[in-house]
Amino acid sequence: MDLKAGDVVILKSGGQAMTVAEARADEAVCVWMGEEGELFRETLPLAVLEAIEVADDDEDEDDDLDEDGADDEDAKANKVA
């Protein structure tokens, strides 16, 4: 597996998404936020990690715009009013 800092991974067995802070030859230092906002950091072997794709929030925002660049929610509110 070819990981680099900034990649998002999960354990192959499942669980929470983690960000690679440092990639090494056979292991990666991963960080993630706990449920109560605490930051965790752990060095894990590459064999237990799987890279995942994360949706870019900026792309989602573009989907909410209509042809003239107005926000769909704004357009709906204007029609109701």
∠ CA 45-47-50 to the nearest 5 degrees? 105
In a domain, 29, yes or no: yes
Q: Considering only CA atoms, which of 1, 51, 52 is closest in space to residue 26?
A: 1
Find the domain containing 59 and state its range. Answer: 8-80
In a domain, 72, yes or no: yes
Q: Considering only CA atoms, which of 38, 37, 45, 55 is closest in space to residue 20?
A: 45
In a domain, 2, yes or no: no
Model pTM above 0.85: no
pLDDT of 22 reads 98
User: pLDDT tens track of the chain, all 81 residues?
Assistant: 799 999 999 999 999 999 999 999 999 999 999 999 999 999 999 999 999 998 887 765 555 566 666 666 665 565 555
pLDDT of 1 reads 77
In a domain, 30, yes or no: yes
Q: How many domains does the chain have?
A: 1
In a domain, 44, yes or no: yes
In a domain, 47, yes or no: yes
Q: How far apart are CA 58 and CA 2, in angstroms?
A: 26
